[in-house]
Amino acid sequence: MNKGDHLQVDFGFYRHHGIDMGDGFVIHFGRGLSDLANAKVEIVSKAIFARGRPIEVVDGTVGFSATEIVDRARSRMGETDYDLFENNCEHFVTWCRTGVSASPQIETSETVVRQATAVAAKPVLRRVVANRLTKSTGSKLAIKLSTRTTGAAIFGDATQAVAELVANSIGKDQVKARRIGLGTGAATSAVVGSAIGGPLGGATTLGLWLAGQVLADQAVAGGKRVFTRIVSFGTQT
């Protein structure tokens, strides 16, 4: 382990991150989930940082020298605006080392949950679309079309998830990764839907995919609020 290294400790359902000071100490956005009210950027010994678990060195993109990384970390000493989803220990470390605030573990989790929710919503959305198409066209073929395009929309969800995960893995920030995923998902849904059912199939598939994304985004946002409240309540008791 060397000065400026990205250190990581695996605590099971999450990984904690810090910067090696090079003198036996670590600077990190500490306490976090265990004590939200008092979470802050602080310097601790490696023993306190690890809490009895192995410390790993994480390889990754570096935009500054070791001294600059540590200086950047020190510049945020005492900061207290911890946020699990927007400003956690991993956001802090990646900012110190690259200049970009990012948390791959949170972003990956969000992508997986969002796309799983979008897929799970498709059966309900399919029935809604089938009813609308049947009323507007007067044809029961609309039911078959909606069934086929549901599969195409789910395929769009899958390609979107892969695109976002790949973008995250190569260092794209959350906003850029999300844009890449949305573009890929929309294009895939429209193209596959058109191949299945022509222009109407393309429009139906894209509509299903978009509706799924809206519901998934709302579910993720709601889940974040609920989880934050639960954690806040738990750390206060």
Residues 213 and 184 in one domain: yes
pTM of this structure: 0.67
- Tally of domains in the chain: 2
Residues 129 and 95 in one domain: no
Query: Of 10, 183, 28, whose CA–CA distance to 95 is shortest?
Result: 28
Residues 87 and 48 in one domain: yes
* Interatomic CA distance for residues 27 and 141, integer angstroms: 63
Residues 36 and 133 in one domain: no
Residue type, 36: L
For the residues of the chain, what is the DSSP string, one character each? --TT-EEEEE-SSSEEEEEE-SSSEEEEEESGGG-GGG-EEEEEEHHHHHTTS--EEEP----S-HHHHHHHHHTTTT----BTTTB-HHHHHHHHHHS----HHHHHHHHHHHHHHHHHHHHHHHHHHHHHHHHHH--THHHHHHHHHHHHHHHHHHHHHHHHHHHHHTT--HHHHHHHHHHHHHHHHHHHHHHHHHHHHHHHHHHHHHHHHHHHHHHHHHHHHHHHHHHHHHHH-
Query: Of 164, 150, 131, whose CA–CA distance to 197 is shortest?
Result: 150
Q: Name every residue whose Cβ is closer than 8 Å to that of residue 121 and which is 6 or more positions away in sequence.
A: 211, 212, 215, 216
Residues 13 and 33 in one domain: yes
Query: Of 115, 85, 123, 107, whose CA–CA distance to 216 is shortest?
Result: 115
Domain holding 92, by residue range, is: 6-100
CATH code assigned at 32: 3.90.1720.10
The model's pLDDT over 165-175, given as tens digits with 9 standing for 90+, comes to 888 777 777 77
Boundary residue ending a domain (54, 70, 100)? 100
In a domain, 1, yes or no: no
Residues 192 and 214 in one domain: yes
> Can you give the three-state secondary structure of 92-109, one letter per residue?
HHHHHHHCCCCCHHHHHH
Residues 89 and 119 in one domain: no
- pLDDT of 237: 47
- pLDDT of 144: 62
In a domain, 113, yes or no: yes
Is the pLDDT reported for residue 233 higher than 60? no
In a domain, 133, yes or no: yes
Residues 57 and 138 in one domain: no
Q: What is the C-alpha radius of gyration for the chain, rounded to an integer number of angstroms?
A: 22
- pLDDT of 231: 57
In a domain, 25, yes or no: yes
Q: Which residue has the higher pLDDT, 233 or 81?
A: 81
The model's pLDDT over 111-144, given as tens digits with 9 standing for 90+, comes to 888 888 888 877 777 776 666 656 665 555 555 6
Whether residue 171 contacts residue 159, with contact meaning beta carbons closer than 8 Å, is answered with no
Residues 211 and 126 in one domain: yes
Residues 141 and 216 in one domain: yes
Residues 88 and 34 in one domain: yes
For residue 79, CA distances in Å to 89, 99, 113, 141 come to 12, 17, 30, 60
Average pLDDT rounded to a whole number, residues 33-59: 88
Residues 139 and 227 in one domain: yes
Residue 149 CA, chain-centre distance (Å), reads: 27
Boundary residue ending a domain (35, 65, 100)? 100
Boundary residue ending a domain (35, 66, 100)? 100
